Amino acid sequence: MTTTAVRSRTDARDGRLPGVWGLGLRRGALEIKQFFRQRDQVVFTFAFPVVFLFLFASIFSDDVEGAGIKASQLYVPAMMAAGIMSTSFQSLGISIAVERDEKVLRRLRGTPMPPAAYFLGKIWLVLVTGILETAILLLVGTTLYDVDLPSDAGKWFAFAWIFVLGLTGCALLGIAVSSVPKSSKSASSVVVLPFLVLQFISGVYISIDTIPDWMLNIGALFPLKWMCQGLRGVFLPDSAQVLEQAGGWELGRTALVLGAWCVGGLLLCLLTFRWKNRRDG
């Protein structure tokens, strides 16, 4: 029996019936505690985008002609967007698939804990790790690569809604894609491969002005491209807009696409999520 289930029964005996939000918060605290107990996972999760930022920013450090920035500065918002998707889409897509294969989900389904509390716990985990990942990359970017923090409230507001919508949409997409792997052994391959491809065609590793339009159009169907573009609009000067496919930051379209992925991701979760493997019936 899980800790959450034991606590919920204890509360019931005391005459207090915990709600879904309360159980979700407790479940989230448990998820966060379990995450930080796995030190190798913590180091890999937070160090991976920082290492890639350092590598690419060190290799490509020349001035970008006509954009008023250095090539290294392009990688800071791009890696922030990739970090958000890594801590949400990739993390949930793999971890939930593993928990399903190990029958953890099946056991949780048999407890009094409402299903929504399980997902709220995952969202709390994603939120905490996403904030920490973004803060680390922002610190590295402002310290080593001359990226300036926004000077007006409007850009900070844009940063907030890009983070929230991007994290939510990617988390829901991760929950949905967790039903694709047939076993825990294939989970990493099934989830990491499309994420890696998206990073190449969404402007994370390669400058957006050097990617073929047909690849950019495919990348534009997914949230990562729009998170990269939106965060560039927040942290880079307006002179860098000339590098974008449409010649502008398109923050309005970014909000629409990320919002659509939040709605579409929720529908995908409702249609595809399973508590048991296919072989379990």
Mind listing the pLDDT tens digit for each residue in 191-244?
Answer: 999 999 999 999 999 888 888 999 999 999 999 999 999 999 999 999 999 989
pLDDT higher than threshold 60 for residue 11: no
User: Taking Cα atoms as reference points, which of 164, 227, 165 lies closest to residue 195?
Assistant: 227
pTM of the model as a whole: 0.89
Mention every residue, 6+ apart, whose C-beta is less than 8 A from residue 19. none
pLDDT of residue 279: 67
pLDDT of residue 221: 94
**pLDDT tier at 16, thresholds 50, 70, 90:** low
Average pLDDT, the chain: 89
SS3 207: coil
Is residue 4 predicted with pLDDT exceeding 60?
A: no
Residues sharing a CB contact under 8 Å with residue 106, sequence separation 6 or more, in sequence order: 100, 275, 276, 280
Cα–Cα distance measured from residue 75 to residue 225, given in angstroms and rounded to the nearest whole number: 13
Measured distance CA(82)–CA(74) in Å, rounded: 13
- Give the pLDDT band (50/70/90) at residue 9: low
Residue 12 has pLDDT above 80, yes or no: no
pLDDT given at position 228: 96
Distances (CA, A) of 238 to 94, 141, 247: 38, 18, 10
**Per-residue model confidence (pLDDT) at position 222:** 95
Name, in order, each residue with C-beta under 8 angstroms of 31's C-beta and a sequence gap of 6 or more. 121, 122, 124, 125
Place of tokens 């970017």: 141
Using one digit for the tens of pLDDT, what is the confidence trace for 159-181?
999 999 999 999 999 999 999 99
